[in-house]
Amino acid sequence: MASLPTIAILISGSGSNLQALIDATQSGKLRANIVVVGSNRKAAYGLERANKAGIPTRTFSLKQFKDQGKTRVDFDIYVAKTIQEEYKPDLVVLAGFMHILSPEFLSFFPQNNVMNLHPALPGQFDGAHAIERAYDAFKKGDIQHTGVMVHKVIADVDRGQVILQRNIPIEKDDTLEDLEKRIHSVEHEIIVEGAQKFLDELTASE
């Protein structure tokens, strides 16, 4: 039997999307092994989730690099090199990784096998605070709905090739918290489906 493809996951926070991926690999819904969870914040609760699931973890401190007089690009190269050389993942998933990746990071993954989850539709609300910005736009009457996508990562933020996307309604009585909950529940599904689709396409192209 062929071994399962491998995934490295990068996080910065509580890791609820990471948990969705862990649960999916354990249930067999996502046919892959998570080989490492990395974080740029050592207090990220997602690291606890990984430890509970028996998945190796790594932390990477940008501050440490800057304190040594090194640059953000030096940091990116170190993170990418560590992930690629030590774990050789078939897919790298950014699951709430709050750090914009440089072209130098991406150069370590020439197969373009880095995937990101973003709580907006393609071309809308790129970058940070996408949910709040969509909510404000809805209140002004500029949009009727928002969405979630998973996409390949390129140097332009949130502009890579879309793997999957889904529209999400905004109701007129919604609070921001209502919209956040609705989006997060869809994120937990689409990150799993997107990872599987990405791996299926990878296998098909070999």
- Report pTM: 0.92
Classify residue 19: in a domain, yes or no: yes
- HEC sequence for 75-111: HHHHHHHHHHHHHCCCEEEECCCCCCCCHHHHCCCCC
Over residues 35-60, the mean pLDDT reads 96
Model confidence at 183, pLDDT cuts 50, 70, 90, reads: very high
Classify residue 174: in a domain, yes or no: yes
Classify residue 68: in a domain, yes or no: yes
pLDDT tens per residue across span 75-94: 999 999 999 999 999 999 99
* Residue bearing the bigger pLDDT, 108 or 98: 108
Q: State the total domains in the chain.
A: 1
Q: Note the Cα 148 to chain centre separation in Å.
A: 12
**Any idea what the CATH number is for the domain that residue 34 is in?**
3.40.50.170
Model confidence at 101, pLDDT cuts 50, 70, 90, reads: confident
Over residues 158-176, the mean pLDDT reads 91
Containing structural domain, residue 64: 6-205
Classify residue 148: in a domain, yes or no: yes
Going across the sheet that includes 57-59, the strands are: 57-59, 33-39, 6-11, 91-94, 114-118, 145-152, 162-169
Classify residue 192: in a domain, yes or no: yes
Classify residue 1: in a domain, yes or no: no
pLDDT tens per residue across span 123-165: 899 888 999 999 999 999 999 999 999 999 987 766 788 999 9
State the Rg of the chain over Cα: 17
The answer on pLDDT for 186 being more than 70 is yes
Classify residue 95: in a domain, yes or no: yes
By annotation, the residues acting in catalysis are 118
Name the least confident of 14-18, 77-81, 106-110: 106-110
Classify residue 40: in a domain, yes or no: yes
